[in-house]
A and B are shown apart, each in its own frame.
Chain A
Amino acid sequence: MIKFQMPNLGADMEAGTLVEWRKQLGEFLHRGDIIADVETQKGLIEIEVFEEGTLEKFLVKEGEKVPVGTVLALINDGKSEVTESTVSGEEIQKPEIHPIEDRKEIVHENTELGERIKISPLARKIAEENRIDISLLKGTGPEGSIVKKDIEKAISEVKKPIKDAEKEADKTKEISVKPSGPTSDAMRMAVAAAMSKSNREIPHYYLEKRMDMSKAMDWVKEANKDRPVQNRLLPVAVLIKAVAKALDEVPDLNATWENGLHRKNEINIGFVISLRSGGIVVPAILQSDSKTVDEIMETINDIIPRARAFKLRSSELSQSTFTITNIGEGGADKVFGLIYPPQVGIVGFGEISEQPFAEEGMLGIRPVVDVTLAADHRATDGLIGSRFLAALNRHLQNPEEL
């Protein structure tokens, strides 16, 4: 019997609301099937199942909000039996994918979740319709309850236009210390939680290298020449592929730190996407190393619109093993990222711009990019980091081999 749990879809996820079971009892589940929709701080997420078996029992009802790790359902794989005593809706399991908190803390969180949020029925209805996470709102109604007005305020903030100045300020500081930007409270709180944790727990070290992008840009230009617009490449696809190949050579950076370094078998590159409404999401481009540049571009074309519509799948949100932030393309020369726990590294690309560049005694004007690496000093040392940057540079100088 398999205990299917509320997955942890990121370091910033503590709980999720089971919105809908997409499978019925008795149905045979295949690996990769969407079993349920879960509402998180980041929106509605399709939850995949990673095992095969028959859906035996639901332990959590639709509409219930439960902490990460809660057993949601039992899937019968024809193997071991689970006794009643070990199975209950409230059971706290050590989350399988990213065990980020110790047991004691989770129990504590659970008690907090147990406190019912005071909210008017109308406000609850509107919140559900607009996917507002009420757990993060402060009520102004009777007894501090959340009322319609509070929900409407939260909605208007999500939809509020972004002032340019504010956004510029955000960009230079990147994801680490965004000021009170105009975003939904929920999203803001999620980013805040993850980044605070990162800054609190991870001893970062930073490396920086300027890389010549002329060959890569020429290669992209050449590739795009005969393509219809729909199939054109963006330089970022090349960057992602190059990072993936570099990680393949320096596997200690494609890892997580959870009481020790755990290398990951797959290279799933998380790609920071800024939302126009504020906030960020980091979907993973799965198995980036085994995809061609074209395939990566296809993935980007698929994933960005979905990310912006909050329609990412659980694996895309939970399985990244390393992160790229390309936010520099908005104008900043350099980006120093904060690592997304429990990963151990993040690479930041600044704006690709024409700069004087000396090579082999010659000075020329070339498109260059300033690449930074922030890495977890618990997991690796600077040497590993610089080896990674060197590998990355080498791949960018040989785009045709990507």
Chain B
Amino acid sequence: MTIRTATAAIALALAAAPAFAGEVRIMWYSDGVEGEVIQDLLSRFEAENPEIDVILDNVAYQVIQEQLPIQLASGQGPDIARVTNLKEQAQHWLDLRPYLSDPAYWETNFGDRLDWMREEGSDAIPGFLTQLTLTGGFANATLFEQAGVAIPGEGATWDDWIEASRQVMDSQQLPAAFAVDRSGHRISGPAVSYGANYIGEDGNPAPIDDGTMAFAGKLVDWTSQGLMLPEVWVSAAGTTYRAAADDFINAQIPFYYSGSWQVANLSTKIGDAFDWVAVGTPCGDAGCSGLAGGAALVAIKYTQNPEEVAKVMEYLASEPVVREFSERTLFLPAHAGVVAAGGLQFQSEDPNVQPALEKFVQASTETLPASDALPAWRWANAYYGALVTRISQVMAGELTLEEARPLMDQDIADQVAAAQQQ
């Protein structure tokens, strides 16, 4: 008994570290250097605002995905968090509007994408996108050149790209022609390019349509022909995310479909080994659409210090800070003013970086409406999850694509049913 009491007492002493006035905790994850950059920016903020103590908790992305939702559900959590699951958890975000000195600034510069992170019909300002991402392809220019194959130009279709890559593969004796990250999100832009539409008229998920099936069919065929690097998709079950970046970096594949966030990563790891270019998204029957997305910094409703939170957010969302953050992290800014002003000086000595980022900016104008609707759609994750789970089973030879189709519909329907079971 005494042991228990003693431990309980100590536990209380340790656990109950109440949010001190003026303390703002940010839960942050990093794909690259952005943790260091934001820490640097925050240090500057703290120097100017000694009354506010900003603590940056760098966590694994897994924590954001798995633990934060539970914290939020129990009315806890940090004061600010960098999240990707924006819409589904919108009920937990704080509306900063009453605390902001200039809400109009936010609407002007971030207004386009506030819908991604607030509940349907709300006009709240929960936060802003730290970066905009866009899916798109990368080509190993050196491999193409060595193989004497021209890099497909504007308007080239997926078939063109894979054929060109196949030639490079054959010529250079590579293990595969291309790879796509294992993610439902990654294949959705291309699917839309083939006419897919995930969203039904009532806003609920539509059944898997022929557009989706068309692109999925191509992926499966390319995998069985040995063109698509098999292990990325095949060697995992469920919705596990797997990136194929390493194979591209290692010059094992001439073409890699991922997204704008890879620019910094590729630059660091490829160095001078070969030239690479961003090529946007190849075209399908309906267009050449990538899929936008991004991570947002949002304020959490359960904070004790909304005033201070707003102050931190205003600082981080201010134009110079956004500009510096983007320039140092090689992320695409989501700030309308910064984008309009242009002239971002990305801090990289790598000659491949600047053109790649510019290509992504340009490609972002080519997205289709069906794709633009997805980031702010509640069931997107359910759809992505079903796609990735089942298509990889098809690739592994466990199902035919036709068999997979009703299973995907079922998975999505299950998820909707579960969520509506209240």
- Are the chains A and B members of one assembly? no
Using a CB–CB cutoff of 8 Å, the interface residues on chain A facing chain B are: none
